[in-house]
Structure 1
Amino acid sequence: MKKQHYIKELIAQGEGAHLDFKFEISDAAKIARSLVAFANTNGGKLLIGVKDNGVIRGVKSEEEYYMIENAAQNYCRPQVRFTSKEWNIDGKIVLEIDIPFSSDYPHKAPDPNDKYKAYMRYEDQNILADGVLLKVWNKEKSKQDIQLVFTDELQEILHFIEKNEPVTKTDIRQHFGLAKFNTEHLLSDLIIFDVVKMDITDSGLLYYLKEPSG
């Protein structure tokens, strides 16, 4: 039995957390969001010349590669590194763009209002990174000495999470009357110390008390 072409195997998987199809590239700022989302979230691939339904149409010109290069260099802060390869599939050219996870995270790209924001990949979508996640990233990058003091208030917050999980950041803010910054700061510390885990869902970020290992 003849083995299916590598690109066709990828297409058969469908779009997801690590794979995105693009029929064409016409907006450098928009494709920059995909580049930074993959770079911030474990890497991924773009297949250019493939429609959302998996039909191969092929790239129209070399300009598509140069637009991606322009997006990576001029619309991503800091720049996003990628590798590319052309594949001839039944006479049509598919451009494979491979974006590895970047140690320079968080990368940012312009949002629809031209403000630079950090994006992440969730399933087959590029979504804005939440303030809690941004603080986790920044603290991990800075390698700052973080101390977690289990005060009575913190114990109450942990009990609230355990009793009502999953909870949102807003649930905690409203119940304890905390400022947004303080809530994000606290949750980011709890995640770094492996006390709380975070799940990304269609409804946003949800928080659970992490069960002790062993």
Structure 2
Amino acid sequence: MGFREIRTLIDLKKVIAVGEGIHTEFKRKISDPLSVISEMIALANTKGGHVMIGVDDDRSLVGIKYPEEDIYQIDTLVKAHCKPALDFTTTSIKISEKKSVLILTIEKSNKRPHFLLQGEKKTTFVRSDDMTVKASREMKEILRREKSRKDIRFSWGEFETLLMQYLEDHPYITLNEFQKISGLGRFSVSRKLILLVLANVLKVTPTERGDIYSRVP
């Protein structure tokens, strides 16, 4: 586990004091249940962590009255809308006589990428700093293949050299920028970036505006 375990109110307050991040998401209440499932999927696809129900964005402990009902709702929705099946554990920590904080703990999954199913729509998410973002086609492929990294083969040629020269003068590059400077088709550019990430030459950072690629230090 690459994140803090929460068993007591003291543990909870320590994690909340740090704020939201790559491992932590706060929810005042479950107003949009599928949004909570999206957060859980993002954590499972990235580095694992906690979704805390009953904690406001300003880090205040507001609590919920009926954590058992929320657990049932989340469990039902995960089974219906998350593929492959997503494992998680729940912890309820009392903050007052009538209210508790519900903690959903999700480990980094060996079955990633997990998807949110809504009718015919199939979407997956990843965590980037304190945000959950929709995963790109490239990110989905990286998630799928990074578990084994056995079939990573590529040849270093003029376009890889061009890319690294660009990154000597710029902090990062996007798929569209690489396509523009190389003149290659989108599929070829996508494949090269995926392979370079899997080979640990590049680091990919998902953002709301799209993935950015930078050199691994």
TM-score scaled by length of structure 2 = 0.83
Per-residue deviation, 1:64:
0.9
Which residue is 1:55 aligned to?
Answer: 60
What SS does structure 2 have at the residue aligned with 1:87?
strand
Q: Which runs of 5+ in 2 are unaligned?
A: 1-7
- Structure 1 residues 165, 96: CA separation in 2 closer, same or farther (over 3 Å shift)? closer
Which structure's CA Rg is the greater one?
A: 1
Per-residue deviation, 1:67:
1.4
Q: Paired residues, what number?
A: 208
Identity among equivalent pairs (%): 29
TM-score scaled by length of structure 1 = 0.84
Paired residues of 2:45 and 2:143 also in contact (CA < 8 A): no
Map Cα deviations across residues 101-150 of structure 1 (whole Å, 9 max, x no partner): 11100111147x97221101122221012222222222234655232112
What SS does structure 2 have at the residue aligned with 1:5?
helix
- Structure 1 residues 121, 158: CA separation in 2 closer, same or farther (over 3 Å shift)? same
Map Cα deviations across residues 35-62 of structure 1 (whole Å, 9 max, x no partner): 1001011111111122222222222323
In the TM superposition, 1:4-153 aligns within 5 A as 5-61=10-66, 62-91=68-97, 92-110=99-117, 115-141=121-147, 143=149, 145-153=151-159
Which residue is 2:3 aligned to?
Answer: none
The list of structure 1 runs, each at least 4 consecutive aligned residues, that deviate by more than 3 angstroms after superposition, is 141-144, 160-165, 199-204
Paired residues of 1:28 and 1:75 also in contact (CA < 8 A): no
Match of 1:209 among 189, 204, 215: 215
Q: Distance in 2 between matches of 1:209 and 1:124?
A: 22
- Structure 1 residues 187, 6: CA separation in 2 closer, same or farther (over 3 Å shift)? same
Per-residue deviation, 1:172:
0.5
Bigger Cα displacement from structure 2, 5-14 vs 92-101 = 5-14
Q: Distance in 2 between matches of 1:8 and 1:208?
A: 35
- Structure 1 residues 39, 159: CA separation in 2 closer, same or farther (over 3 Å shift)? same
Paired residues of 1:161 and 1:207 also in contact (CA < 8 A): no
Q: Distance in 2 between matches of 1:145 and 1:130?
A: 21
